[in-house]
Structure 1
Amino acid sequence: MGRRLRPDGARQRQRPHRRLHQLEAELEENGQRLVRLENTLRHVVRTTADVSVGGPCQCGESLVIVTKHSLYCPECSYQRTV
C-alpha cells in the first residue's frame, strides 16, 4: 500500500485550520498580557496620589491620565488644563 494522496482542495482546507489555531493562541496570550497590564496600572494608580486614568484620548492610541489640574495623553502629548 502506498501513501494516500489527497486532492489539492483538502490540503488548502487544513491551512486555515492551522492559522485559526495560531490566532486563537495569540489572542489568548494577548488577553493574558492585557490582564497583567491592567493589574499593574491599577496598582500604579492606587499608589500614586491624585492620578487616575480617564477615557480614550482623541488620538485613539492611549487612555488619558487625569490629575487635579490637567488631562494628558502619553501617546500624542495632548494636554489640557482642567
Structure 2
Amino acid sequence: MTPRIPARTDDRGRDYRRWRTSPTDATPRLERTASELRNVTARLERIETRLPLLENTLRAVARQAGVSIGCPCGHCERSYLLIADGMMTCPTCGYQQSI
C-alpha cells in the first residue's frame, strides 16, 4: 500500500519578496561577519605562533624528566603517550602498555 501524498496548495497568492532582505539590510550583517572573521583570524595567528613555543618547551621538560613523548593515545585521543621505563602511558586516560 502506498502512502497518500497530500495535495499541493496554491502557492501563487504568496508574496515571497517580504522575506527577502534588500542589499542595504544585509550590509550591517556582512560587516559584523567580516569583523568576526578578522577577530578569528587574528586569534588563529596568535595560537599558531605560540604552538611551536609550547612544543619546544614540552620537549625540553620531558627530556629533563627522562621521559619521551610518543604518538597520540589510541584510546582517548586526547593526549600524547609518555614513554618511560619501558612503559607507554597516557596521562589523560591512564592507558598503559609495555614497549
* TM norm. shorter chain > 0.5: yes
Higher relative contact order (CA 8 A, sep 6+): 1
Match of 2:43 in 1: 26
Structure 1 residue 45, shift from structure 2 partner: 2.4
Q: Counterpart of 2:88?
A: 71
Unpaired runs of 5+ in structure 1?
1-5
User: What is the TM-score when the length of structure 2 is the normalising length?
Assistant: 0.67
Tell me the TM-score normalised to structure 1 length. 0.79
Alignment of 1:40-59 (within 5 A): 40-49=57-66, 51-58=67-74, 59=76
Structure number with greater Rg is: 2
Q: Which runs of 5+ in 2 are unaligned?
A: 1-22
Q: May I ask how many residue pairs the two structures share in their alignment?
A: 76
Aligned-pair identity in percent equals 37
